[in-house]
Chain A
Amino acid sequence: MEFVAIILGGVLINNFVFSRFLGICPFLGVSQKVETAMGMSMAVIFVMTVASAITWPVYHLLLDPLGIEYLRTVAFILVIASLVQFVEIVMQKVSPTLYQALGIYLPLITTNCAVLGAAILNVQAEYTFIQAVVNGLAAAVGWALAIVLFAGIRERLDLADVPRPLQGFPIALITTGLMSISFFGFQGLFKQLFVR
């Protein structure tokens, strides 16, 4: 039940884009086409899950026992940056096809605040290892859901007759706002299921 709560919470209720505002830059940047949005999503899901799995031991087995928790930000960003580089190299060797599909998105992930955000949220929520990994995965799936839906809308938007000053980013942001309102509906779902 606990995991159901984490997954539902991560994907729908505390969606990274619509209610936590994490990963907005790539959300706006690579949502031109559904295809590229899918590629980016796959890369983010992969990196975020692995990053959650790696930053947990870094914090709980290294920083915490040594009493240097304040180095959290520095340590996490280095771990994530090297992880991304590592994934890129491994992927290039092991699966050139996958690398071709995801390659260009990987370097962008280092500066995706959703990845670092998930790692820090895991620490703040004091999750166990398994919970942290599930939370990372759920948050990434939520992010992926948001960007793919948004890319679908954006493809249609290109054909719509939008007033000139609103073309491009302004209308994209307003659309996101409307999507965010609709995601608010899921808050009730949570109450129904868990708070009875």
Chain B
Amino acid sequence: MKDFYNGILPENPVFRLLLGMCPVLAVTTAVANGFWMGMAVIFVLTCSNVIISAVRPFIPRQIRIPCFIVVIATFVTIVDLVMHAFLPGMYEILGIFIPLIVVNCIILARAEAFASRNPVPRAAADGLGMGVGFTVALVVIAAVRELLGTGNLVVAGRALFGAGLPIDPALVMILPPGAFITMGILLGALNLVGKKKE
């Protein structure tokens, strides 16, 4: 349980560890994109953590990284094929960032730092927690960007604010620069809150 919770707040992979920034910035143009990217990462992270933890006694130390990468790449390929078949629209939007989950630093970092040193149940909890933490971060960033960039939030195909908020949508927020700026300001705000607590 503690391993699960750890990934959500104390060691949130995005806000605390700053891992796997590329998809965080790239796919957070809308809440739905962020959510599905998060789902894909949860699946890959949990499965690869379980497998790596299960086979850890048989992997020689010197070649562990290539072994981890093969395991991760296998699950990424599964996600790639499943998404292509069942969510073709989302597959188009996420595009290259689905195969690129393979080189997402979070997954390799958890495999190396946690799964290869802990028993299967703990590794599974860690993978799930980190994945959920990642998804929460993506959804938060995506919500800010979508709200400011389009003046509305679309959840499960329904617009939350009807005709939209009475603000002028700032297109820049859903363009690449908006991603960097939102992320920077969110991190700054979190630092501020963290300082106050201490």
Contact = CB atoms under 8 A, between A and B. Distances in A.
A136 B57 CA distance: 39
Interface residues of B, number: 43
Interface of A: 18-25, 28, 70-74, 77-78, 81, 110-113, 116-117, 120-121, 124, 163-166, 169-174, 176-178, 180-181, 184
Most central of A18, A121, A174 by chain B CB within 10 Å: A174
B96 A120 contact: yes
A150 B145 CA distance: 24
Given A112-B103, A177-B181, A165 B195 contact: yes
Given A22-B22, A28-B21, A169 B102 contact: no
A24 B22 contact: yes
A174 B21 contact: no
29 contacts: A21-B176, A23-B22, A24-B21, A24-B22, A24-B25, A25-B20, A25-B22, A70-B77, A70-B80, A74-B73, A74-B77, A77-B69, A78-B73, A81-B65, A81-B66, A116-B99, A116-B103, A120-B96, A163-B188, A164-B191, A165-B188, A165-B195, A166-B188, A169-B184, A170-B191, A174-B180, A180-B177, A181-B172, A184-B175
Q: Is the interface of B mostly helix, strand, loop or mixed?
A: helix
Contacts of B80: 70, 73
Contacts of A178: 177, 181
Interface string B115-136: 0000000000000000000000
Contacts of A116: 99-100, 102-103
B185 A113 contact: no
For the complex of A and B, 5 pairs with smallest distance between CB atoms:
A177-B180, A173-B184, A177-B181, A174-B184, A21-B26
Contacts of A22: 22, 100
